[in-house]
A = this chain, B = another copy of it.
Amino acid sequence: MKKAAVILSGCGVFDGAEIHEAVLTLLSLEKHGASYQCFAPDVDQLHVVNHLTGEVAEGESRNVLVEAARIARGNVKPVTECQAEEFDLLVLPGGFGAAKNLCTFAVDGPDCSFNEDVLAVCKQFAAAGKPAAYACIAPALAAKVYGNNTNVTIGNDKDTAAGLEAFGAKHQLCGVEDVIIDQDAKLVTTPAYMLGQNMLEVSIGLDKMVQSVLALK
């Protein structure tokens, strides 16, 4: 049984991990016979967004690890405890949290900063030649980690794609139900809710992502 490390970035599309993407990714891992352990950085969220109004909840703060525990039903560990040698693959679902809490790409674009602990784990998997999958906006991190003309996708948004190419990655257009695979880097990316209009099409792309990353050797 292959074992996946899954890095979450909170709980909620506008300030954390995209909930549907995270749940569907975990389901797909189970469905295809893999086990998983969730991780998240033990840091405050960039901010808290009221998901009903879309407005920032001024004065409120939440911790990424604590909120990620909602998706993981309590079973989540600090990302500093993630060792690539204990896993076969790495998976990062999307949501704004990936670009607000794991890095600041959502607000700073290619000049963004990165959570050093998350970046170190991502680099560990890359250096060890272990397969990885990044969904939605999380490929912003993949672009930074892999660079070197590695093929990645965030769908078809030109400005976002240009941001990823600023890290040295090569953006490829991709539909929501499809994936981009870079065989050399052992990297799979899929647009998910960067393009998805409903959960069903997002679930198809994520399932293909999980199957593809599990098939990489």
Contacts and interface: CB of A to CB of B under 8 A. Distances in A.
A30 B198 contact: yes
Interface string A48-59: 001110100000
Mostly helix, strand, loop or mixed at chain A's interface?
helix
Contact of A203 (B27, B51, B73): B27
A50 B72 CA distance: 12
B52 A13 contact: no
Contact of A66 (B16, B50, B66): B50
Count this chain's copies in the assembly.
Answer: 2
A69 B16 CA distance: 13
Interface string A191-217: 000000011100100000000000000
Contacts of A200: 27, 30-31
Given A11-B70, A70-B11, A52 B27 contact: no
A31 B16 CA distance: 26
Contact of A51 (B30, B73, B198): B73
Interface in A105-155: none
Given A30-B199, A199-B30, A51 B74 contact: yes
A6 interface: no
Q: Could you say which interface size class chain A belongs to?
A: 20 to 34
A19 interface: yes
Contact of A52 (B14, B26, B69): B69
Contacts of A72: 51
A12 interface: yes
A70 B19 contact: yes
A76 interface: yes
A71 interface: yes
Contacts of A11: 11-12, 19, 70
A199 B27 CA distance: 6
A50 B11 CA distance: 13
A7 interface: no
Interface of A: 11-14, 16, 19-20, 23-24, 26-27, 30-31, 50-52, 54, 65-67, 69-74, 76, 198-200, 203
